[in-house]
Structure 1
Amino acid sequence: MPSPVVSNRIVVLDTETTGLSPQEGHRIIEIGCVELVNRRLTGNRFHVYINPDRVIDRGAIEVHGITNQFLKDKPHFEDIHDDFIAFIQSAELVIHNAPFDVGFINHEFARLKDKARTLADFSTVFDTLAFARKKHPGQRNSLDALCRRYSIDNSHRELHGALLDAEILVDVFLLMTGGQSSLLDERESTDQESRNTHKPKQLANNRPALTVVYCNEKELTEHQQRLDAIEKASGLCFWKQ
């Protein structure tokens, strides 16, 4: 199974496009990015709509609801290129079905002949779809399916949207890869394993020591889901500080 992202700075990214294939001339029309540092939301986001200079497929409009009329006064990709690169530079990108978004982004880069590069020149990529398929083989692993599996409320998602989907993917990614690192960081995990292998000591009067029962992975996940729900409802969860 691919290893979860371990970088301190993560950018969860999604795009919307005019169609399914950049090889057929389709373009990016929306980019949404959400920043995490040490697996915590920072509040920093990058969100733009882009004029593609081409007609959007009817099927694509049915998915995301974005029209050419809406995009006619929006910037072109070359206008937002530098700001986009500045936001993702040196971050680990978390993307669901990464080959799709990476292919489109690289296609846009290639159109900028004086700046032609690929996404790999700026960031590394973690594909949550590939990870989910390894973690949940033989099951549906779309973003909606993962929301159901991890009890994430996405009822407000009537249409696809790059920023909305990126925000939902943040919750999926954190739960699927083990919750907040502040609760389950590597050092605490190592200490926990060490304690689990310790045999209980005998008390001075030879009575057996109380057995310490540690929570299992399922219980940790349910605990994290509860903390996330508290934080989402109130804006602050004391136990995650």
Structure 2
Amino acid sequence: MARQIVLDTETTGLSADNGDRIIELGCVELLNRKLTGNNLHMYFNAGRDSHEEALRVHGITTEFLKDKPRFEQQVEEILAYLQGAEIIIHNAAFDVGFLNKELQLVGKPPLKSWVDGVIDTLAMAKERYPGKRNSLDSLCDRLGVDNSGRKLHGALLDAELLADVYINLTRGQDALLIGEEATEDAAGLPIVALDLRSVSLHVLNASEQECAAHEDVLKQIDKASGQKTIWRSLAG
């Protein structure tokens, strides 16, 4: 059974190396590409204020976080939840960098020691949509994912949106992920098995005119290449 965790964080700023910390963690579980509802959502008292730019993005104040636990108090529960799963993150380098710094601060090995790999949906989107905006909001708009409730960034909401984006980005892979015992596809629709052994396909042979035209094209390519083509020798 394929277990995946869609993960997002909110932080006090942009640089873990310069002392910024994680203040919110949101995780959404997928089993065989379906939401299970077994999500993880935590806030952390980072012991420092968020930068103004970060505060404008997530709106999570130091006052709100004052009575929240420290990351180190929750780390065992977090690692137990993530253990052995494939992690899906948008712009993975950012979140993984922060998680690794938090783990380092409590004497734990880096994230890769606990999980079965990391998928970066930003890299996937850039490959599929080169030259286009591939932010989470842009992908939601492009893929028909409703993000109307996203006024501010929030780790759990963003993880939920990213789960929908990921499923839509990989929709064409559904057939590869359906086991022989499956009765529904990823959208919950019934799978109908078709027996094609009794289907007779009608073969249309090329006409003499089409064969002559094809031969003429081959001769032109032979001439243009200085008789360096190899298909005639292979055909022989």
In which range does the TM-score fall when normalised by the shorter chain? Answer: 0.7 to 0.9
Matched residues in 1 for 2:201 and 2:172: separation?
Answer: 29
Q: For each residue in 1:124-165, what CA deviation from the matched residue of structure 2 results, as whole angstroms up to 9, or x when unmatched?
A: 100000011111111111001100110111011000000000
What does 1:76-225 correspond to in 2, within 5 Å? 76-113=70-107, 116-123=108-115, 124-178=117-171, 181=174, 185=178, 200=201
Percent same amino acid among aligned pairs?
52
Once the two structures are TM-superposed, the CA of residue 186 in structure 1 deviates from its matched residue by 6.6
The letter of the residue matching 2:166 is F
Alpha-carbon spacing, 1:64–1:199, altered in 2? closer, same or farther (3 Å): farther
Once the two structures are TM-superposed, the CA of residue 201 in structure 1 deviates from its matched residue by 6.0
The letter of the residue matching 1:200 is L
Matched residues in 2 for 1:180 and 1:68: separation?
Answer: 43
Alpha-carbon spacing, 1:52–1:200, altered in 2? closer, same or farther (3 Å): same
Matched, 1:67 2:75: no
Matched residues in 2 for 1:46 and 1:164: separation?
Answer: 11
Matched residues in 1 for 2:51 and 2:7: separation?
Answer: 22
Show the counterpart of 2:48: 54
TM-score (norm 2): 0.75
The letter of the residue matching 2:9 is T
2:5 pairs with 8, 11, 23, which one?
11
The letter of the residue matching 2:96 is V
CA contact 1:178–1:184 (8 Å) conserved in 2: no
Unmatched 5+ residue regions in structure 1? 1-6, 203-241
Alpha-carbon spacing, 1:135–1:186, altered in 2? closer, same or farther (3 Å): farther
Once the two structures are TM-superposed, the CA of residue 23 in structure 1 deviates from its matched residue by 1.1
| Bigger mean CA offset, 95-104 vs 7-16 | 7-16
TM-score (norm 1): 0.73
Matched residues in 2 for 1:201 and 1:34: separation?
Answer: 49
Matched residues in 1 for 2:173 and 2:145: separation?
Answer: 15
Structure 1 or 2, whichever has the larger Rg, is: 2
The letter of the residue matching 2:201 is P
Matched residues in 2 for 1:74 and 1:142: separation?
Answer: 30
Alpha-carbon spacing, 1:184–1:92, altered in 2? closer, same or farther (3 Å): closer
Aligned length: 191
Q: For each residue in 1:48-86, what CA deviation from the matched residue of structure 2 results, as whole angstroms up to 9, or x when unmatched?
A: 000001111111110000000000000001111000001
The letter of the residue matching 2:91 is N
Q: For each residue in 1:65-114, what CA deviation from the matched residue of structure 2 results, as whole angstroms up to 9, or x when unmatched?
A: 0000000000001111000001100000000000000000000011013x
Unmatched 5+ residue regions in structure 2? 186-191, 204-236
Alpha-carbon spacing, 1:180–1:167, altered in 2? closer, same or farther (3 Å): farther
CA contact 1:38–1:181 (8 Å) conserved in 2: no
Matched residues in 1 for 2:138 and 2:73: separation?
Answer: 36
Once the two structures are TM-superposed, the CA of residue 181 in structure 1 deviates from its matched residue by 3.8
The letter of the residue matching 1:118 is P
Matched residues in 1 for 2:159 and 2:201: separation?
Answer: 46
2:17 pairs with 12, 23, 26, which one?
23
Matched residues in 2 for 1:31 and 1:60: separation?
Answer: 15
CA contact 1:16–1:31 (8 Å) conserved in 2: yes
Alpha-carbon spacing, 1:89–1:138, altered in 2? closer, same or farther (3 Å): same
